Amino acid sequence: MEAAVVRGPPLINVAAVCGSLRKGSYNRGLLRAAMEISKESVKGLNIEYVDISPLPFLNTDLEVDGTYPAEVEAFREKIQQADCYLFASPEYNYSVTGPLKNAVDWASRPPNVWADKAAAIVSAGGSFGGGRSQYHLRQSGVYLDLHFINKPEFFLNAFEKPAKFDSEGNLLDAAAKERLKEVLLSLQRFALRLRGESE
């Protein structure tokens, strides 16, 4: 009699995109923490950081015969291959950052490679923890056919005491890490649902 094969949960590949280009960014620190949490305690979730810093400013003059600059093509391929997305969105002037909007727009050019995928947003910042930027990103997601999880929301006031991050932007706060884990679990469930699979 053959032994039963025990399979783990289906693999979900996550493209992680940060709206800040600064290496010590708290928002980038949230993505590093999410990657560590996924390896330690969220089976079946693989998070890859996708760097948006090489992307040129969007300019349709750079589109030639349906092709894009090499950096844009590489970025779009990473987005297309992912099952879902994790955005770390800092807040600049009550909205998303220029680099993040630029990345969103490049990947939306025909064909839109964001469409019909699950997504989640996390933010660290001042008093509202970057929350206003999330609402603007959600508005863009409506047109892009991105399906954001509704709950849990994750906003973190990075400047409250005790310190939430170390001097290099690494997340220290245990409660925030637990909340981040809940976001990842919710994203995983929603991504599987959109793929017609169960955990």
Asked whether residue 6 is assigned to any structural domain, the reply reads: no
Query: What's the CATH number where 45 sits?
Result: 3.40.50.360
Q: Give the pLDDT of residue 6.
A: 54
Q: For residue 19, what are the contacts with CB-CB under 8 A and spacing of at least 6? A: 27, 87, 88, 89, 90, 96, 97, 99, 100, 133
- 2 occurs within a structural domain: no
Position 112 in a domain: yes
Residues in the chain: 199
**pLDDT for res 128:** 76
Does residue 131 lie in a domain region?
A: yes
Q: Between 131-144 and 98-108, two packed helices, what is the crossing angle to 10 degrees?
A: 10
Exposed e or buried b for every residue in 40-56, given b needs 16+ CB within 10 A?
eebeebebebbebeebe
Q: What was the pLDDT predicted at 62?
A: 97
Its sign, for the CA torsion 160, 166, 170, 172, is negative
In the chain, the number of structural domains is 1
Q: How high is the pLDDT of residue 196?
A: 86
Asked, for residue 4, whether it belongs to a domain, the answer is: no
Q: Let me know if residue 160 belongs to a domain.
A: yes
Q: Which domain holds residue 76?
A: 12-59+67-194
Q: Are 115 and 68 in contact (CB under 8 A)?
A: no
User: pLDDT tens per residue, the chain (199 residues)?
Assistant: 455 555 667 899 999 999 999 989 999 999 999 999 999 999 999 999 999 999 999 999 999 998 999 999 999 999 999 999 999 999 999 999 999 999 999 999 999 999 999 999 999 988 777 889 999 999 999 999 999 999 999 999 988 889 999 999 999 999 999 999 999 999 999 999 998 886 6
Cα(31)–Cα(165) distance, integer angstroms? 13
Amino acid identity of residue 3, one-letter, is: A
Domain assignment present for residue 5? The answer is: no
Could you tell me if residue 41 is inside a domain?
yes
